[in-house]
Amino acid sequence: MRSVFVKTFGCQMNEYDSEKIFALLSADHRPVSSAEEADFVFVNTCSVREKGEHKLFSLLGRLRDLKESKPNLVVGVGGCVAQQEGKNIIKRAPSVDFVVGTHNLSLVPSLLDSAKNGVTGQVAVDYRDEWEELPEELDSYSPLKQGEDGKLDSSFGVFYSPVRAMVAIQRGCNKNCSFCVVPTTRGPEVSRSFSEIEREIKHKVAIGAREVMLLGQTVNSWGRDLQPRSSFEELVKRISEIDKLERIRFTSPHPAEVRPGFIDLYATNPKLCPSIHMPLQSGSNRLLKEMNRNYKVERYLEIVDQVREVRPDIAISTDIIVGFPGETEDDFEQTMEVIEKVRYQLIYSFVYSPRPNTVALDKYGSETEPNREVAGARLCRLQARASEIAGEINSKRVGQQSTLLIEKIDKKSNGQQLIRGRSPENVAVEVDLSGSSELSKVNSKDHPVEGSLLGYRVTSASPHGLYGETL
């Protein structure tokens, strides 16, 4: 059997695509955890920030050196940079054997075969209007069947856990935010059919998944392009009827697409976890307009109030861009004010990165105010406050009881057992079984297993997670 190493940059959609690559190759490839061990290296790229491209070409430089000692090594590049740059990648890094776009994953096995037969410089980056479905049997691909010791090796860096499945429900985006490259690299929005989504979730539940993360760029606009038209709310309702599926999450809803039925989901659906990732991007209405986000801060805060009214325990996370062209001190202070009002569980924050084929780059160029130093200082301030708030939120949970979905049980050589998982609010939780009655059940059928739910009490907290004991 040959070996494959996949290096994934970027978002969960890329992780999901990497999972598909493993599945496509699973008949004759086993995953390994480094390029040095591999016969085939696939780099799944991200172009949302410029840094992603730098990381790609630095990795390709290392792979070129590796190829000198392993001439049969095949290197493929996929993902958003591949879609955007196409043959330019091969011009710049001739050691790359093929480039494959975001709509052409199914071609990877044949591109790989041709590369092994000496074909060089292959580029497949055509757009497809329809959803690219992969063979049905791939839905039941499980890394657990692949690992040599029967276990998932997390160093593959793809699956967050076999018990937490990712399932794409949508591809592309119609929003055209002025800073974003996704509409260029992933194309216009296309909803996947309900039957395909259901099929994949059912397969994943059958092999152990208990939680599903529905993926899409604006998940809550799912279904409007389908015939007959459907809705995201209807999709979640029907998915929640799947037996043995305990938890549903999704990422990311767009604030401009939130309708009353969306709020009702949180009020009525017990499988929908009390967590929501809703990108803010900026707390300044002036900048939101420049970003073409199509909502105002007031509307965003209204949605926050509405979901909190029906789910007071909900944890809210977000994305924020600092240093968008023309961001003034006052704009930034307005963002900080929103952070104080919402009190996010988690903020993914970045300095603005000018990207090719975006309105913002055309309008402002790559030299922008505020300069990098000012933007960097603002980012540090924002991140420090975000961490304080997360710590305060988690500290208030000390003493509370909750339930975690067990993703991993670490058995240490000293007999200690640590259970790792996530709370309903999507906070990482670690429970030490030492001294608990659960420990005495080791090897018995009552011992907690991966994929089961475990009740715990929070004993301590940090900004990044919770620590607990069994009930």
Q: Give the interface with ligand SF4 as residue ranges (CB under 6 A).
A: 173, 175-177, 180, 182-183, 217-218, 254
Could you tell me if 44 and 81 are in contact, meaning their C-beta atoms sit under 8 angstroms apart? no
The torsion angles phi and psi of 138, rounded to 5 degrees, stand at -70, -20
Q: Which of 47/368 has CB closer to ligand SF4?
A: 47
Q: Which of 284/423 has CB closer to ligand SF4?
A: 284
Instruction: Measure the CA–CA gap between 102 and 45, rounded to whole angstroms.
Output: 10
CB of 46 to ligand SF4, least distance (A): 12
Could you tell me if 305 and 266 are in contact, meaning their C-beta atoms sit under 8 angstroms apart? no
Q: Which of 7/355 has CB closer to ligand SF4?
A: 355
Instruction: Measure the CA–CA gap between 466 and 419, rounded to whole angstroms.
Output: 12
Q: Which of 59/181 has CB closer to ligand SF4?
A: 181
State both tokens at 82. 């591949």
Q: Which of 146/317 has CB closer to ligand SF4?
A: 317
CB of 6 to ligand SF4, least distance (A): 23
CB of 258 to ligand SF4, least distance (A): 13
CB of 277 to ligand SF4, least distance (A): 12
Q: Which of 6/321 has CB closer to ligand SF4?
A: 321
Residue 32 CA, distance from chain mean position:
22
| Maximum alpha-carbon separation in the chain | 65
Instruction: Measure the CA–CA gap between 117 and 243, rounded to whole angstroms.
Output: 46
The torsion angles phi and psi of 272, rounded to 5 degrees, stand at -80, 120
CB of 264 to ligand SF4, least distance (A): 23
312-326 burial, b at 16+ Cβ within 10 Å, e below that, comes to eebbbbbebbbbbbb
Q: Which of 33/174 has CB closer to ligand SF4?
A: 174
Could you tell me if 140 and 207 are in contact, meaning their C-beta atoms sit under 8 angstroms apart? yes
CB of 223 to ligand SF4, least distance (A): 17
CB of 218 to ligand SF4, least distance (A): 5
Count of all residues that appear for the chain in the document: 471
Count CB atoms within 10 A of the CB of residue 219: 23
The torsion angles phi and psi of 227, rounded to 5 degrees, stand at -120, 115
